[in-house]
Chain A
């Protein structure tokens, strides 16, 4: 049996994000892509499960960036056994979660995994998270905000985080879909040399998919939050700034 991990590349939000002239998408040419941080955790959790149960790990993704190979080879170098790339007329597009789930569902069904793991959310999930959407399409049990998993006979035990440190323990019959918040360990690092080796020694399986009918999220306009909010900016040298901060604190009796 296998564990399927879904990886998605998303705009790196640490970088400057520009809106394109249409006003309904980011300027994709200036975006730099990274694998969704929570998907990295999903991969790590799957690799930890593999260490305990010997399941094969298959990484799956829809190539909307033309750069997915890098992410898939990195996953193979980290210890995944197979990589499947869905290709089609979707490059450069912002797929809605429902369209993404629609493309993935038949491929996942075909793979027939014990578990599907993906990130709890992504920065561009305008129409909701992938795990519950895919779970609903497949009609498999699902849950998100997962911080720990354990496979047992016919089920998976998961620890789901609520708030204030409260944890909810659930058991889901497998196959199930999980949205991972944090793996039990920090996602492992893999040296570039190992990724290069994976590029030489392994192949990525390709599946041709049709373009979804309504693929993009429905929105009228993207915009930046109102003119940098309400913070008054303190400028000058570090010591100038510190003097100002201390003044502010003093005025409020905080220092």
Chain B
């Protein structure tokens, strides 16, 4: 019996995240032919107004002080309790910083299989197949999913949010928090938002983005010059920011910023799923990489298999001249 699909809704400070709607959209698509209903679990404190906007068949609302800010232990206990109670055949969790703490832990505790990093869920020959993106996006793994309990953690941005019906939920059901929420070993202390940046890459029309292929901090100068010539700003993949070569405000991707410029020129970026999450919607993507199999070419409109320094220098010559 494939009765219920359970979606873990993600919210931060009363704001539903985009990925939640994407998950509900997928859940609806899978639910329709099976006659399943879609439950969305909203965790928080003082979030009943938000719960009323979640487009699921039924919104399960659990409120508790420990759920005010994200608390991985509280969220894990809550989802586990609800999954035991409602026995869904499928649980969808976002593969985000928050969802990652919960999906594997709950699946392990329940003994249910988990497919992580899911980027597609399709019907193939009468079988539901979840596709996981592995090895830095270079390999896809097709995993059959049965109807006797599974957990899938879904990559943000992999599905459209439009399939989530816009009408408000048929009903909101309040759930009592499990007793464990009063004896947690994890405490959420607070959130810190980033300081205002010198350059707002989310507003830039053109971006020259550099990755680890740039090799050294000194070589960033080349990117700066190119950006100047093109009227663009410089952004980067995460490792360059971790190394302190550029400020955090220039990072594109899952834990950085989401950008949608008219031009994204990617130099020496492999195109890991976490990077693609932040730039796949750019209007024009041109990628330069020495590796013809680099996943960045899967999202780029134009690709060049070449040494970025040769291309950048040739471009600089033309722009400077």
Q: Which residues of A contact B (CB under 8 A)?
A: 11, 13-14, 16-17, 19, 26, 97-98, 101, 120-121, 123-129, 132-133, 135-137, 141-145, 157, 160-173, 176, 179, 181-182, 186, 217-226, 228-235, 238-239, 241-246, 248-249, 252, 254-255
CA distance A171 to B304 in the complex (A): 47
Question: Given that A123-B136, A133-B105, A161-B255 are known contacts, is A166 also in contact with B191, CB under 8 Å in the complex?
Answer: yes
Residues of B within 8 A of A226 (CB): 298
Residues of B within 8 A of A229 (CB): 297-300
B59 interface residue (CB < 8 Å to A):
no
Given contacts A127-B115, A218-B144, A244-B302, 15 further A-B contacts (CB under 8 A): A126-B116, A126-B141, A132-B102, A165-B193, A167-B192, A168-B191, A171-B189, A172-B186, A218-B143, A231-B300, A232-B302, A233-B303, A234-B302, A242-B318, A246-B318
B172 CB to nearest A CB, Å: 26
B203 interface residue (CB < 8 Å to A):
no
Which of B97, B287, B304 is the one whose CB lies under 8 Å from A162?
Answer: B97
Which of A172, A220, A222, A245 is the one whose CB lies under 8 Å from B286?
Answer: A245
B98 interface residue (CB < 8 Å to A):
yes
Question: Given that A13-B136, A128-B116 are known contacts, is A233 also in contact with B305, CB under 8 Å in the complex?
Answer: yes
Residues of B within 8 A of A121 (CB): 100
Decide: B132 and A163 in contact? CB cutoff 8 A.
no
Decide: A223 and B142 in contact? CB cutoff 8 A.
yes
Decide: A126 and B297 in contact? CB cutoff 8 A.
no
1/0 per residue, CB under 8 A from A, across B193-233: the answer is 11000000000001000000000000000000000001000
List 18 interface pairs A-B (beta carbons < 8 Å), by A numbering: A17-B138, A124-B135, A127-B107, A127-B113, A128-B108, A132-B105, A136-B108, A143-B72, A166-B12, A166-B191, A168-B190, A169-B192, A171-B189, A172-B187, A221-B141, A224-B293, A233-B302, A241-B304
B282-306 CB contacts (< 8 Å) to partner A = 284, 286-287, 291-293, 295, 297-306
Decide: A252 and B101 in contact? CB cutoff 8 A.
no
B185 interface residue (CB < 8 Å to A):
yes
Residues of B within 8 A of A223 (CB): 139-140, 142
A173 CB to nearest B CB, Å: 4
Residues of B within 8 A of A168 (CB): 69-70, 188, 190-192
Which of B72, B137, B311 is the one whose CB lies under 8 Å from A238?
Answer: B311
Residues of A within 8 A of B191 (CB): 162, 166-169
Which of A127, A173, A225 is the one whose CB lies under 8 Å from B137?
Answer: A225
CA distance A77 to B255 in the complex (A): 32
Question: Given that A142-B105, A248-B302 are known contacts, is A126 also in contact with B185, CB under 8 Å in the complex?
Answer: no
Residues of A within 8 A of B176 (CB): none
1/0 per residue, CB under 8 A from A, across B307-321: the answer is 000110111001000
Decide: B192 and A228 in contact? CB cutoff 8 A.
no
Residues of A within 8 A of B243 (CB): 186
Which of B255, B284, B304 is the one whose CB lies under 8 Å from A233?
Answer: B304
Residues of B within 8 A of A101 (CB): 108
CA distance A219 to B254 in the complex (A): 26
A169 CB to nearest B CB, Å: 4
Q: Which residues of B contact A (CB under 8 A)?
A: 12, 69-73, 76, 96-98, 100-109, 113-117, 129, 132, 134-144, 153, 185-194, 206, 230, 238, 242-244, 248-249, 251, 254-258, 262-263, 270, 284, 286-287, 291-293, 295, 297-306, 310-311, 313-315, 318
Q: Output the nearest chain A residue to B251 by Cβ-Cβ distance.
A: A165
Query: How many A-B pairs with Cβ below 8 Å?
Result: 260
The 6 closest A-B pairs by CB, nearest first: A229-B298, A128-B104, A165-B194, A231-B303, A13-B136, A173-B185
For chain A, what secondary structure do more than half of its interface residues adopt (helix, strand, loop), or is it mixed? mixed
Residues of A within 8 A of B194 (CB): 164-166
A61 CB to nearest B CB, Å: 19
Which of A11, A171, A248 is the one whose CB lies under 8 Å from B186?
Answer: A171
Which of B105, B284, B298, B303 is the one whose CB lies under 8 Å from A254?
Answer: B284
CA distance A172 to B72 in the complex (A): 10
CA distance A239 to B108 in the complex (A): 55
Which of B114, B299, B315 is the one whose CB lies under 8 Å from A242?
Answer: B315
Question: Given that A97-B104, A133-B104, A248-B302 are known contacts, is A17 also in contact with B129, CB under 8 Å in the complex?
Answer: no
Decide: A144 and B142 in contact? CB cutoff 8 A.
no
Question: Given that A16-B293, A234-B303 are known contacts, is A220 also in contact with B97, CB under 8 Å in the complex?
Answer: no
CA distance A16 to B293 in the complex (A): 8
Question: Given that A219-B143, A221-B142, A232-B302 are known contacts, is A136 also in contact with B104, CB under 8 Å in the complex?
Answer: yes
CA distance A30 to B71 in the complex (A): 42
